[in-house]
Amino acid sequence: MTELLEQWSQGDDAALAELTPLVYEELRRLAHRQMGGERPDHTLQTTALVNEAYLRLADQTNPPWQNRAHFFAVAARAMRRILVSYARAQRSEKRGGGALKMELDEAAIVSPEQSKAIVDLHEALERLGTLDSRKARVVELKYFGGLNHDEIAEVMKISTITVRRDWAFAKAWLYEELHNAT
């Protein structure tokens, strides 16, 4: 996969065609794993999230992929942006003040119940990022990207033990932040 990513980075469209089924299935697994921790009654659709993230990633010309872990780190950020964007749009009064005017894909991605939780998490991550950007990045890669500690360490070029410590701190900090906000 890393070789194909490098070839794509150098402008080889054939590499993208060969890479597509590998990347798409891995993105689905990551999104499905992430969705496994959600409430059973949510309406967030893994397929819609993966499709949107994949389209954003595949639309790049000569992307500078370093390796597999770097690609999925960028995918994690794309998924986070998509989720937050749809959640904000759903909550926005400017978009009809509660009227359900949205595209079919938007309706399939985020339920009204989840939009508040997604935006709250995003805002808490933004606050954590102002205090410690590395810890916020670890959360983003783990939560939105589904990367494990070793992959996060590789992407961020830090030790695995540092990732574990950052993750433990960030989880506790976010719990307090989200718990006190309600």
Q: For the segment 52-79, what is each residue's pLDDT rounded down to a tens digit?
A: 887 788 777 777 777 888 888 888 888 8
Instruction: Say whether pLDDT at 93 is over 80.
Output: no
Which DSSP string corresponds to 14-73? Answer: HHHHHHHHHHHHHHHHHHHHHHTTS-TT----HHHHHHHHHHHHHT-SS----SHHHHHH
Reported pTM: 0.60
Instruction: Say whether pLDDT at 172 is over 80.
Output: yes
